[in-house]
Structure 1
Amino acid sequence: MTLTFAAPARTATPARRPRGRGVRRALTGWAFAGPATLVVVGLSLFPAVWAFFISRTKWNGIAEPQDIGWANYQRLADDPDLAAAAQHTLLLTVLFVPGSIALGLLIAIALNQRIRFIGFYRTCIFVPYVASAAATGILAGYVFNPQFGAANDALRRLGLPTQQFLESPRQALLVVCLIALWGEVGFTSVVYLAALQDVPKELVEAATMDGAGRWRVLRSVTLPQLRPVTLFATVWQTITALQLFDLIYTTTRGGPMNSTQTVVYYVYELAFQTRRLGYGAAVAYLLFAVTLLLTAFAIWRGRRSGEEAF
């Protein structure tokens, strides 16, 4: 009796790709992505790093900069103009963000209906968002002009008292917020409209068959499905409100009596009007830190509650 041992079966090994082909593909990819990467680095990362070094100096942009360490950052807590600008920015954010979210959701629900000319209505809502903010501000300056503006003309026809609008310290920031809503609500409307079309119809039909009305379906089915979108829109609109500049520049220039001077516009005045580039860069970095912390907190809170919006 003889014993025979079978040779172990050879496992098929995947064929290795030639190393030169992988290198060529990598070089081809970087050939396409490299120029765009250089532009991003040159226009964002390099100026950000350079601004940090400027924030540690006393410089007017012409003479030799003087290194003063962290003195500019120490002055931030004792600057009354910065405190006032921060209050204006906070008020604008508190009014703008919830308003844009609520209006965007209502408009999206209306645009989600099957009605005639729905494409035309959707286009009309989105046009102000893609229009130039500078053009929007110039147009709003004519509309809310106290003497010959269309807003006061409408109030006269209704028998109501005319208003000062952008020339009133009490009304100017509210009017700016209204103009910003008109220009930005198209973004939240489009985002919510896309999210509404992704809500599972089975859930809506099941809730309707159980006897739920439209309001109950909206509150118990639709809105919970829109939570990730709401988180994304809230973060995006908060950043938009904190960085609002061009609209203020073309309407009020921070006035009247600095009532619409936000932190971004205060940075512009420091850097390009009073030539205090070092202190202006320090204020800009403070705004960047606040924006980063708010965004990180919103993302952390959303992931903790299971709302993966980013």
Structure 2
Amino acid sequence: MAVFTPIELSDISAWISSDFDIGQALDIRGIHGGIENSNFFLDTEKDGKKQEYVLTIFERLSAEQLPYYLDLMRHLANKSIPVPKPLENKQGQILFTLKGKPAAIVSKLPGVSRLAPEAKHCALIGEYLAKMHLASSDFKHTQENLRSLAWWQKTVPQVLSHLSDAQKELLTSELATQEQFFTSEVYALLPQGASHCDLFRDNVLFDPQGTSDGSQDQLGGFFDFYFAGTDKWLFDLAVTANDWCLADNKQDLDPARFKALMDAYQAVRPLSKEEQASWPLMVRAAALRFWISRLWDFYLPRDAQMLTPHDPRHFENILLSRKAI
């Protein structure tokens, strides 16, 4: 999350009071981290009770695209999956316009991030990711993953001039490999549905249940669904594994974390034989996707308050590691 469109309390106080049933807006604070939208913590008070929400102004997604993401979160929340639930205004709407841009307000999840996860955290992620996939099976809307193959094919030519010869060769050869994989018969057989597609450690909260050392952590919830799309569930699992299960060298998969994630996921939704056979290529696809996006953000950045682009070499190294599996 970042801040591209600054918001002051005076910009929203009257709007919150008149359009919503959440009382008076007390404070609004920009959230650091991420690179796509402008995000803020919003504090309100009603009948002496304080509440905290998250306000998002969407910088790239259009008002036509956004109902998919917001309806997906509402669908999952209504099925008891711990995700932010979009807040309705007095007319029952969940998508608004603020400073000429689409905006939404969602509930704030409890807990803290665990950026150095243990195997037990990976197990919780695997369990609830599988539950989320199954809960989305009857979600009626579909929308392509906007950062999938078509976007890779469009973006790679824009970043090639910034790369070394070795990087160009790695990027173009891997893209060609994934083009073949995505058009294969086995790929077509992989189960698919609504997928988070960006379930990194900083998009999950754990509720410490009264402890500070994480010994009794329960899942607080998954958030930041604004890269979600209809995709292969195996891709969603591969994206998650590539971040949650890293070894201490920050590129290989740690055996204990990886086993915990996969065992917990498959206890809820066992992988098909086609998914098992596709794992080596899919985990490379997940690494390629984020290498491309980080190259794009690093070399073709946008201006924003509180924005620090991620180092693209991280996912270059992960891709090289996954190719060696």
TM-score after normalising by structure 2? 0.21
Q: Whose strand proportion is higher, 1 or 2?
A: 2
TM-score after normalising by structure 1? 0.22
For the pair shown, the structure with the greater C-alpha radius of gyration is: 1
Higher relative contact order (CA 8 A, sep 6+): 1
